[in-house]
Amino acid sequence: MFLELNGIGTKQAQLTRALRAAIVCGRLKPGAQLPPTRELALELGLSRNTVLAVFEGLRADGFLIGRVGAGSFVAHPGMPESASAAATPIEAQSAYSRRARTLDATRVDPSSPASTPRYRLQYGVPMTNPALTTRWSHAIAKAAQFADTGYPPVQGLLVLRTQLCAYLARRRGVQARPEQILIVGGIQQAMTLAARVLIDPGDRVCMEEPGYFGARHVFAAHGAELVLNEVDSEGMDCSGLAAASPKLAYVTPSHQFPSGVVMSLERRHALLGFAREQSSWLLEDDYDGEFSYEPQRLPTLHALDRHGRVIYVGSFSKTLFPSLRLGFMVLPDALRQDFISAKWLNDFACPAIEQLALANFMADGSFERHLRHASHALQKRRAALIHALNQHLGGRVQVDGANAGMHLTVWMLDLGHDQLDALIQRARARGLGLFSIRRHYHRQPARPGLLLGFASLPPAELEIAVRLLAECIAQIQSARVDDPVLPNGQTVERIGSDARADQAQRR
């Protein structure tokens, strides 16, 4: 236990002051148990009688309480932690930290709100499968018995990298050797490592518009100048890349996030040609490429690359669960050692037990059996959502991005941007969680849109959710322009039978 005895006065007085200060400033929290008097005396080089006297005095003053057979505990409420923190603000000590501070914390933190709506159409959330959780717990328990308890290899366990090579070749057409694989803590860490290895402040990074805001934050925090290229029906427009001359281009060709567009083969070849001619790098994020609903898939950029310009990244957040925090990078030979060094500097390596469990899970076929089950279930949920949208909102919305992934982009054809905000509030009041596409745009889109995730709800509940959505849209459209909208999405009561019926429906 750290206590500073300042040498002024008797040992008893010094210890009393030190314990009082620790309690008052909040370093010793209310309810915290103090060490036994014999142990504390031995640690501080004091007599036990001195410590006993100090404890007795603090109990008398109300700072400590004693419990027979349990020991001494802090009783004083202490000082609010924020008081001392507010008194001595700390300035950021690096340019990176100053840039990172400018990020909107609500855009960075993906955690769900405290009150979760009953029908939450959250995008990016994988399908819940209790059977998978059970099988995974068995895999973890088995791996814990056999995993090496020392530090794992920085690059990742060889057994997992070997399994990944076979899996990627079989499922995604990505040809790689185990030495090209780097195991990372999810795609977010992969992007961070790419920024550290490839980007100096002021370098240009090409991004999709719209695009994944997490990637934008990573590259902006590292000082990159972002070049935003519009996404159309064929994916990212590559026509201006040569003039912009970016050091790196970040793309999601298999299922563009958030629009859902699949990049055309012509655009893929154009992107690879640019990278070859300009000696630029391509970061291909295949975040949910496993879930495609087309009979013929286009090859990945990595599969088409013949000049070693593509860094291919993926994770198990969508195929298994986000809490696993494991992903991978397929690295060009020219960059392999640079990324391994950056990974070592970042966190040494990813946890070995989870890596071994995942390798075993892939080796015995459990992983691909799960993928087949998940793909089949997701197709049913996707079809149910599209059917419900056509049934309840046909002609009032436009649906994009239905060929892959776990979400749809739904554009509102007869609502304005301000009405969309009111719609989201009103829907939440009725137990429906909706999410605007706006946060993924640097500039406001031409019309308001929603990202509707369908992985977390079964088909019957998706139908209910869309029916609620249609009712909320009708209420928003029928509301008078001058009707104020309350924070929970309701409007003030209007005079007349229509208003009373509307209020009754909302209740």
Q: Is 402 left (phi over 0), alpha (psi -120 to 50) or beta?
A: alpha
Residue ranges of domains in the chain: 11-74, 119-124+370-506, 130-364
Q: What does pLDDT average to over the chain?
A: 88
Contacts of 361 (CB under 8 A, 6+ apart): 135, 136, 139, 367
Query: Cα separation of 155 and 168, whole Å?
Result: 17
Instruction: Report how far apart, in Å, the C-alpha atoms of 27 and of each of 57, 71, 315 are.
Output: 20, 19, 40
Over the stretch 254-273, which tens digit does the pLDDT of each residue have?
A: 999 999 999 999 999 999 99
pLDDT band, residue 416 (cuts 50/70/90): very high
The answer to whether the CB of 155 falls within 8 A of the CB of 183 is yes
Over the stretch 421-453, which tens digit does the pLDDT of each residue have?
A: 999 999 999 999 999 999 999 889 999 999 999
CATH 3.40.640.10 holds for 130-364: yes
Q: Which fold has domain 11-74?
A: Arc Repressor Mutant, subunit A (1.10.10)
Strand runs labelled E in 377-435: 397-400, 407-412, 432-433
CATH 3.90.1150.10 holds for 119-124+370-506: yes
Q: Is 232 helix (H, G, I), strand (E, B) or coil?
A: strand
pLDDT band, residue 35 (cuts 50/70/90): very high
Q: Is 115 left (phi over 0), alpha (psi -120 to 50) or beta?
A: beta
Query: Cα separation of 448 and 437, whole Å?
Result: 8
Residue with tokens 């070049």: 227
